[in-house]
Amino acid sequence: MANLASLAAMVAAIPTPLPGEDRAQAAAQRVTPALTEALKPHGVSIGDPVFIRIVKEQRICELWIKTNENDRYALFKTYPVAGMSGTLGPKKKEGDQQAPEGFYSTCTGLLNPRSNYHLAFNIGYPNAYDAAQGYTGSFIMLHGKNVSIGCFAMTDPGIEEIYTLVAAALQQGQARVPIQIYPFPITEENLHTHRNSPHIDFWRQLAPAWQYTEQHQAPAPVAIVSGAYTLRDTNKTP
């Protein structure tokens, strides 16, 4: 009886998960078997470092995961962006209903398993570039459901997979997950097509980062210098 009493005391001492935490755990349990199998051909697993690349014009969200091959990332899966407001171009002020463009990241403290939109994480807008331009806004998320104003809605099944992979990578030691958002693939052809846009100079700032990822299969090492985006000095050149 003493052993049973001790066991009962131990069970009682385990904290009960909060509703949101339980929701994230349930989502992870649902998607883990399929994710595990889908990741095997890439030689990666849940918990490996990840990064996210969003392309607004195509309304897609790419999930990349780090391999053991020269720090390269494999494009694991492309998810449709189910809900997104605004037009091409950066977010500039609170309430403009515009989704951002540029270079952001999320971390453990920005995960929101209790979101009204199923599961969500904050992308970290505004960043230092936005602040230098005087841009305002807050609480820009990747989340579930299929509607959004200024955020990126991924549907519930989509966010369950993305959230699970992001949360696991952070739990396994990745400090921040890069989230790189483009208006369209930044090729010379597309820049020429959009040459008359008022955002063309901004988009040209994004071009080296796009080219870096295309060449090196890795998140671009972006820095903000004198209020402008630039690539950090590395041994790799785009």
pLDDT tens-digit readout, 177-222? 999 999 999 999 999 999 999 999 999 999 999 999 999 999 999 9
Residue 111's identity, in one-letter code, is: L
- Active-site residues: which are they? 143, 151
Domain at 19-185, CATH from 2.40.440.10, 1.10.510.10, 1.10.150.120, 3.30.70.20: 2.40.440.10
Interval 160-182 mean pLDDT: 97
The yes-or-no verdict on residue 15 having pLDDT over 50 is: no
Q: Which of the two residues, 223 and 148, has the higher pLDDT score?
A: 223
Q: What is the pTM of this model?
A: 0.88
Say yes or no to pLDDT of 69 above 90.
no
Tell me the average pLDDT of the chain.
89
Q: Which two tokens stand for residue 14?
A: 């385990």
| pLDDT higher than threshold 50 for residue 5 | no
SS (H, E, C) 197-233: CCCHHHHHHHHHHHHHHHHHCCCCCEEEECCEEEECC
Interior CA angle at 127 toward 161 and 176, to 5°?
A: 40
Show me where the domains of the chain are located: 19-185
Q: Per-residue confidence at 146, pLDDT binned at 50, 70, 90?
A: confident
